[in-house]
Each structure stands twice: as C-alpha cells, then as structure tokens.
Structure 1
Amino acid sequence: MNIVTEFIIDSPLLPLVSIPDTLEPDEIECVHALCLQSDVRTFTVRIDPDDDVSPENLSALDEILETTLLGDTSDGTVYQLTVELEESISEAFESEHIDATQLESTTITDNQWHEKKLFRDYESFNEFRQSCENNDISFELVSISSGPSVSDGIAESGLTDRQREALSLALSRGYYESPRKVTAQELAEELDISQPAMSSLLRRGERELLSASLGTNGQLNTLSV
C-alpha cells in the first residue's frame, strides 16, 4: 500500500539551507531535484523576488557549484542550482533509500526541509527515515496516511498504454538512476522495438507526466537577453 507522508528533516548540512541561513529569504521552495552524481544534485528552486537575491549572491555560497537564472513565474524567480552534497547527506539521499515521489514543493528554511512525499510502501518510508537518522539527520514525522496507487496516478496522466509500459520498464530496470543501470537500446530489446522508438516513447511519456504535474502554472516566462 502506498504511503503519503509529511515530515521535516533537520541538519545544517542539508542542501540549500545556506540560502535562508546567510541571505535574505526566510524560506525558499524547491520544486524539482535531479541526481547528476552521487555527491552532486541539481535543484530547481523558487525565490520571492522581494527577497532581493541575485545569481551572484547564490554563486558565492560554498555549496553551490553553478547557478542558472531560468526565469520568472507568478510565484517567484526560478533558479537552477547545482550543489555539491556533504558526504553524510549524499549517503542518506542515495536513490536506493528513496523509493518515493515528491507531491509538493519542498519548503527549505534555516537547517530544515519540510516535505510531502508518496512512498511505495511503509517499508520504503521506514528505510528512508532510518537512512536519515543513521546519517545524523533529525527526522520529525508530521503526518502519515495510506495513499492512492502509483499506477492510478499514472493512468490519470494522459499516458498511452505503450508509454506507460516503456516508462514502467525503464523505472524498474534503473534507467533513471545515476549512473544508469540500463541503456535505451537494452530496454528496446526487451520490448522488441528499435532504440529510436524506445527513446521516443520515453520522451513523449516524460512530457505527458511533466505536463500533468506542472500544468500551466509550471510554465516559465522566458527572460530576454
């Protein structure tokens, strides 16, 4: 059974807590995270423009390797930040410990992340909580309840059966892990289709999922240069 959880993790070593700690914002929102390497993550964050945070302010922080200003939405200025993780945080955030989907933007304050995630089952949630505690990350559970099936959520996203099949196979085989455990060619062979056809299924499926997740509110206004 899927588990919907709301929790707070607390550590001065958590990614991006240096922003509210040293700059003006009381909090920022993290809307997406991508694993590049075991100790490097790229985060998409939203910051209130009234907080007067500049790309130069962000780039000056020790943990941030690269800062990219993406644009503006009605909810704030959006940045893509590439961050080098502390060793203990990297271990806690390993993909094998996080069998979950982010349900809402993560609120980041001084030393804390406030998150809402859907875990595949209670065992997956408990493994993540234990991993945090093993790496000296304080874990406070705010709420926990049974959630809808992951497959139900996928079915409502507008995916075709073939796109769903391709994405499910790719996820189960480790295609979206870093480093990847399987290639698109290997996935294509399992489905008995060509590699370009497999890549097209994944790309179109990913686009459908992103469109369903972000909606029109997730679109960015392009910056002029």
Structure 2
Amino acid sequence: MTLTAEFVIRSPSLPFVSLAASLPSQQLECVHGLCHEGGSRVFVVYLEPDDNVSEADLSALDEVVDTSPLGRASGKEVYQLTIELADVVSEAFAPERFTATQMEPTVVTPDGWYETKLFQNYNAFNGMRTRCEEYGIGVELVSISQNPPEDDGSSQYGLTERQQEALQLAIARGYYESPRQVSTKELAEEMDISQPSMSSLLRRGERQLLTSALGSQPQVRSLSR
C-alpha cells in the first residue's frame, strides 16, 4: 500500500520562503530531491515572468551557491539553483531517515512549502512529521489518501469508504498514538459529522479490520462447570 499526502511544511529555515514573500505573486514552484537523493542540494525553480526576478536577484540570496538559467517552460522562467541548506533542514530531511517521492512541484509561499509526496505507508508519513517537529519544523496535513483508490467504494479489508476515510484521518492526526494527539470531537469537526457518528465509524472500522485480519468471528463456547 502506498499513500499520497498533501501537507504544508513551516520553518523560517526553509529556502525561498523569504523570496516568495517579496514577489508580487507571493509564490513560486520548485522541484528538489530532499528525502530522495543523498546529498541533493539542487533545486529547479519556476518563476512567473511578471515577478521580474533576475539571475542576479537569485544569486544574491543567502542560501544560493550557484545559479544557472534554463530558459522557459510552461510560460515560466526556469533556473537551476544549488542551495546551502540550514543544518536543521539538512538533518530533518536526511534521505537515510525516510523515503518519499515528490509527486508535484513544491509550491513555496510566505506561509511555507506546500508539498504532495508519495509515502510507503502511514508510518513513513508519521515518521517524517515526527522528525521534522523534532527539528522545529512544523508539518500540517492537508489530505492523505491510499493508492490506488478502490472502485467499489470499499477497501480490500471490507471497509466502507467513510470508515476508511475516518480511520485514515485518525491515524494521520495521531488519534492512535499514546498519548492521543486529537479527540473524536476534533476528528468529527474535520469530517463535518457528529461526535457519535465519528466514534461509530472508528469502532465499526476497527472491528472490520480485526475481523479481516483474524478471520471470521470465532464461535463463543459456553464453559460448563
């Protein structure tokens, strides 16, 4: 099972956040190899022509070591930049710690990095989030989904679509961690349902997963004295 997660990374140490704040468009796109390639410090940056960012402007950024213009693509100015990463970013995203594949270009805004990545499983995503937070880098989950989606509205474990959605949200938000990071009330608000409905979805989903994993419900035998 693989997962596609969309999330926001926030830290003043992230490259290009200050640049995005200075642009009229307030954003730029980039492709990078963090979490995937050892020692990767190369970013390919896509800029709107109306933002009027020159090669000299990019070279003047504190984090930029080398700048190479690549021309235009999809109506945007493209540059290859070699970056000197802050230690906290380099350590948090060391490729030996976890593996994630970039699915779409990172959108850099003054608020942080908006990313869409492919993870092996929930543990891989939660491990990434925990390690980032250990280095003072915030991670806010926007959405997470299992690949590929089921066509019949149920998962291979017999879950309904809503049960699967509830369990995925609960796992991603830390409901099953010890101590719990979120309440059923907070989960219910995110799914726009009542707290009893959320509790029911989780309870039925958990029961279905256990039944699927352990087989049919065993017959209960009365103990004779």
Structure 1 unpaired stretches of 5+: 150-225
Instruction: Show the counterpart of 2:94.
Output: 94
SS in 1 for 2:14: coil
Count of residues in correspondence between the two structures: 148
SS in 2 for 1:97: coil
| Structure 1 residues 1-225: aligned runs within 5 Å | 1-33=1-33, 38=39, 41-148=41-148
User: Greater share of helix residues, 1 or 2?
Assistant: 1
1:25, distance to aligned residue in structure 2 (A): 4.3
1:12, distance to aligned residue in structure 2 (A): 0.9
TM value normalised by structure 1? 0.61
Tell me how far apart the structure 2 counterparts of residues 59 and 111 of structure 1 sit (CA, whole Å): 23
Superimposed CA distance per residue, residues 75-106 of structure 1 (whole angstroms, 9 cap, x where no aligned partner)? 30100011101111111110023311111111
Q: Is the alpha carbon distance of 1:22 and 1:98 closer, same or farther for their aligned partners in structure 2, counting shifts above 3 Å?
A: farther
> Given that residues 19 and 25 in structure 1 are in contact (C-alpha distance below 8 angstroms), is that contact kept between their aligned partners in structure 2?
no
AA at the equivalent of 1:79:
Y
SS in 2 for 1:125: helix
Instruction: Show the counterpart of 2:170.
Output: none
Give 1 or 2 for the bigger CA radius of gyration.
2
SS in 2 for 1:95: coil
Alignment RMSD (CA, Å) = 2.0
TM value normalised by structure 2? 0.61
Tell me how far apart the structure 2 counterparts of residues 87 and 30 of structure 1 sit (CA, whole Å): 20
Superimposed CA distance per residue, residues 35-92 of structure 1 (whole angstroms, 9 cap, x where no aligned partner)? 8874x61100100011100000010011110111001012301000111011111111
Q: Is the alpha carbon distance of 1:36 and 1:95 closer, same or farther for their aligned partners in structure 2, counting shifts above 3 Å?
A: closer
SS in 1 for 2:33: strand
1:137, distance to aligned residue in structure 2 (A): 0.6
Instruction: Show the counterpart of 2:159.
Output: none
Instruction: Show the counterpart of 2:221.
Output: none
Tell me how far apart the structure 2 counterparts of residues 9 and 81 of structure 1 sit (CA, whole Å): 20
Q: Which runs of 4+ in 1 moved over 6 A?
A: 34-37
SS in 2 for 1:123: helix
SS in 1 for 2:72: strand
Q: Is the alpha carbon distance of 1:61 and 1:105 closer, same or farther for their aligned partners in structure 2, counting shifts above 3 Å?
A: same
